[in-house]
Structure 1
C-alpha cells in the first residue's frame, strides 16, 4: 500500500492565524484538490492528520469540524479524488501524545491501517509536522504554502535535510515522477 499523510491547514486549504472556524472559511489552495486526485490515481491512499485545538479553545464545535471536513471530502471527490480518513487532535496540551509534534496521531494511523510509516511521506507546513514525522520514522516533506515559508525562515535548523516544495501539487509531481 502506498500511503501519504497530509496536514490540512496550509497544505490542502488556506491557513489562518485565527483558525478555520466554518465551512465558508475552508478554501482550498489552488491545485491542492487536483493533487490529491493525482495521488489517488498514482495508487496512493491519502490520509489527513491535523491538530484542531480550535475546538478546545471554543472557536468551533465538533459538528462544525465535521461540516468543514464534509466540504473538503465533497470538493476532493468533485475533482476525482478521495481522502481515506481524517485524524485530528483537538487537545491544546503539548504533552498530549496525539498532538503534533508528538507522533501519536501518525502512529494511530499506522495501527488502524495495519501498515508501516517507513518511507511514508508526511506533508506539512510547520516544524510540528516535521517533528511528528521524524518521531514516527516517517518521511517529512515541507510545503511553502500556509506557514511553510515562515517555518523555513524561523526554524531553518529543524528543516535541515527536509525536502521543500512550493505546494502540494509540486510534492505530487515529485512523488509520481520519482516512482516511474
Structure 2
C-alpha cells in the first residue's frame, strides 16, 4: 500500500471499536470504557503530526436508557485523562444519542455527525478527510460524506470484513488505529 504524500485536512474517528474496546452489550460506564491497546498513543501521534482530529459516535445507549449524558461525559473525561498532554488532540466529539428507530439526521450511516464536525471546525468534507471506523455504518457514512473510508480490524472490524461488502472495495484497511497512523507518515 502506497503511503499518502499530503497531510489530511482532518481525521474523523468512530469511538467504540476504534479508540476503545466495544461490546455488543454497550459500553455503559467509565469503568467499562477501556482503550484499545495503542489507540491512545496513535491519537498522540496524530497531534504530533498537527492533523486535526474529531470523533463521530453513535451512542444509542442514551436513548435506550443504558446510561446518561453525564455518564457519557465521564467516559470522554477518562479518554482525555488518558491522553494526558495530548488531550487537546481531539478538537471535537459529535454524538448521536438517538435510537435506530428515531429517524434522526445524525445517526450513522447518515452524515449529520460529519457535517456537524465540518461546520464546528470549519473544515470542508473532501477526499483529504479520512473517516476511520470498524463497521459498515462508518464506511457508509464516510462515503456519503465524501471522506476517504478507513476500516480498522479492531472492534467489529473483522466481522465487517467478513460481510465482503462491495463498499469495502475502495476502503483502506488496517489492523488498528496505530497502523493507520503509520500509513500517514
TM-score range for the pair, normalised by the shorter chain length: over 0.9
Specify which of 89, 94, 99 is matched with residue 92 of structure 1.
Answer: 99
Shift in Å, 1:142: 0.3
- Shift of the 63–155 alpha-carbon distance from structure 1 to 2, 3 Å rule, reads farther
2:145 corresponds to? 136
Q: Which residue of 1 aligns with 2:156?
A: 147
Tell me which moved more, 154-163 or 166-175: 154-163
| Residues 1:33 and 2:51 aligned together | no
Deviates more, 1:5-14 or 1:73-82: 73-82
- Counterpart CA distance in 1 for 2:90 and 2:53 is 5
Deviation at 1:92, TM superposition (A): 1.1
Q: Does 1:110 align with 2:122?
A: no
Q: 1:81 and 1:109, CA in 2 relative to 1: closer, same or farther beyond 3 A?
A: closer
Give CA-to-partner distance per residue, 1:75-102, whole Å, 9 cap, x none: 1125676211211001114531100000
Supply the distance in 2 between the matched residues of 1:149 and 1:7 (Cα, whole angstroms). 15
Instruction: Work out whether 1:57 is the aligned partner of 2:64.
Output: yes
Paired residue for 1:2, among 5, 9, 13?
9
State the match for 2:174 in structure 1.
Answer: 165
* Offset from partner CA, 1:17-75 (integer Å, 9 cap, x none): 00000000011011000000001100111111100000010100110000000001111
Q: In the comparison of the two structures, how many residue pairs are matched?
A: 176
Mind listing any 5+ residue stretches in structure 2 that lack a counterpart? Answer: 1-7
Residues in 2 aligned to 1:47 and 1:79: alpha-carbon distance in whole angstroms: 13
2: distance between equivalents of 1:79 and 1:43?
11
1:23 counterpart SS class: coil
CA gap of 1:161–1:93, structure 2 versus 1, over 3 A, is same
- Aligned equivalents of 2:88 and 2:41: distance in 1? 7
> Could you say which residue in structure 2 is the equivalent of 1:23?
30
- The 8 Å contact of residues 9 and 123 in structure 2, kept in 1 or not, is answered as no
Q: Give the CA deviation at 1:147.
A: 0.1
For the aligned residue pairs, the C-alpha RMSD in angstroms reads: 1.5
What is the deviation of 1:127? 0.4
Q: Distance in 2 between matches of 1:149 and 1:5?
A: 20
